[in-house]
Structure 1
Amino acid sequence: MAREVDPKKTRKALRRLKRARKKIEDSEKSDTLSDWEDEFLGSVEDRLETFGSAFNDPEKGHLDEALSGLQTAKLREIERKAAGKARKPMSRGKGFKSSFKRKGSGPRVRDINEDIEEETPEADEIPEAAAEPSRPSGPPKLRVVKGDKGDT
């Protein structure tokens, strides 16, 4: 089952490829395209002329488009290169920091002096009521607790 691609979109993609190739040929730098990019433009152009689309996998782009998403991005990069603009490096992202913005101004700073506990008073200064009850030492002693059920 062949895909139905709009012929206008195919012609538009072919014109973009030819324009990019012409810009590169007209520029002073003759070696602006790498071998891979030159081969990419040629193979995409061949597939567009033969099949009307340069990709077949529906997961790689919209079915009614002539170029896949990655092919469009690479073509855009080649067009920028032909125009003499520098290539943007891949963004590494900002992680979670951008999504969790803090309120207030300035960085949060931890004061280590707040972690120091105040000195406790001497043992003889502690009142008897505030002293902890002593715990029995040794193994626990088990005993039977009688319930309130009567003997029947």
Structure 2
Amino acid sequence: MSGFDNFRGSGNFDGSQNAQVVVIEEQQTVCHTVEIEIIQQKLVVLQEIAKRIITEQICEVETQTIVLEQFSSGFSTFQNDIGRTSNKQVGYDKNIAGMISNLTNSDGSLSTSNLGFNGTSVGSNTVVPSGSNWNSTQGPDAVQKAKSAAQAAANATSAS
């Protein structure tokens, strides 16, 4: 795992140990519902960009494997936040998310520039949107049922 320690590393592979500093914005960020297909489209774009970065900018299959596992384990950590099984609030780092335009160059090629942060920086400027339907009574069961249904759908698809 040498070389991965400056970006979460083996003792914090999924980023779950990162400190979270919630920032209060002058204009509060509020969750609002958008058609699921639009959300799915945006997330697939991010997924395909991640695949592009991994396949175009990492030549060693072992490193591709480790980086992909680290990337996906970060989503498992976020799932724990959503289900309120972690000690973190549900949000995102606004500074890191704001760097999306730095992923590609003006000609559409992938940027190779250093974005100037490491893995432990993630969470230092967390925004927590308000407007969630979470409640402590029904929330844990509702999240577990939704997660189980999604996993069953994924397993049925991959078994075909």
Normalised by the length of structure 1, the TM-score is 0.29
Identify the structure with the greater helix proportion. Answer: 2
- TM-score normalised by the chain length of structure 2: 0.28
Rg: which structure is higher?
1
